[in-house]
Amino acid sequence: LDPEVAHDLTLTQLQRAYALGLARFMCKSVPALPVTVMGLEFPNPVGLAAGMDKNGDHIDALGTFGFGFIEAGTVTPRPQPGNPKPRIFRLIPAQGVINRMGFNNDGVDKFVENVQRQTSFRRRGGVIGLNIGKNADTPIEKAASLSSRQSKPPFTLRAFSK
């Protein structure tokens, strides 16, 4: 199975299991090991790095695995397709992958909608990190702007707290 197809299929099936209330049976309960870093309290020190959930669609479903934090993204101001396929390569002897996806995502506006809809992970105390990058066609000197249609960020940190 192509690695990118496997990635997408995994997220689709996890979301389906979560929607049916079955995802919680896939994992053992994770003990509370609270950690405070830079004023943020995490329920435990284990998290998921950016790249798994590029559009913030699956935060609640992924949260059933017991993560203390989930970093969603990377998202760009405008939607973009990413690099041409194939762009994920398996390294079987090393049990790893090479990811050359290139920030394929639906853009920051859709991303914010998706993240705001994900509430159960935050209610359980999970921390969401938002990984934001620039579009491939954006010059580096203009990379600080979050959205081409808005003069200010489309959200505040408060929007994603408990």
Cα torsion through 99, 104, 110, 114, rounded to 10: -20
Do you know the residue count of the chain?
A: 162
- Classify residue 116 by its DSSP letter: H
Mean pLDDT score of the chain, rounded to an integer? 88
- 139 pLDDT higher than 60: yes
- 149 pLDDT higher than 50: no
- Summarised one tens digit per residue, pLDDT across range 70-127 is 999 999 999 999 999 999 999 999 999 999 999 999 999 999 999 999 999 999 999 9
Contacts of 114 (CB under 8 A, 6+ apart): 55, 56, 57, 59
Cβ(55)–Cβ(118) below 8 Å: no
Alpha carbons 156 and 162: distance in angstroms, whole number: 13
pLDDT, position 24: 86
Q: Report, as an integer, the average pLDDT of 8-18.
A: 97
pLDDT, position 92: 96
More confident residue, 147 or 61: 61
Helices (H) and strands (E) in the chain, counts: 4, 7
Q: Report, as an integer, the average pLDDT of 2-6.
A: 96
Provide the 10 A C-beta neighbour count for residue 142: 11
Structure tokens at 3: 């690695």
- Summarised one tens digit per residue, pLDDT across range 45-77 is 999 999 999 999 999 999 999 999 999 999 999
Residue 60, H or E segment: helix 59-63
pLDDT, position 84: 97
What SS3 class is residue 11?
A: helix
Question: Using 50, 70 and 90 to split pLDDT, how confident is the model at 141?
Answer: confident
Provide the 10 A C-beta neighbour count for residue 55: 19
pLDDT, position 145: 59
Alpha carbons 21 and 68: distance in angstroms, whole number: 20
CA distances from 117 to 58, 59, 92, 112 (A): 10, 9, 36, 9
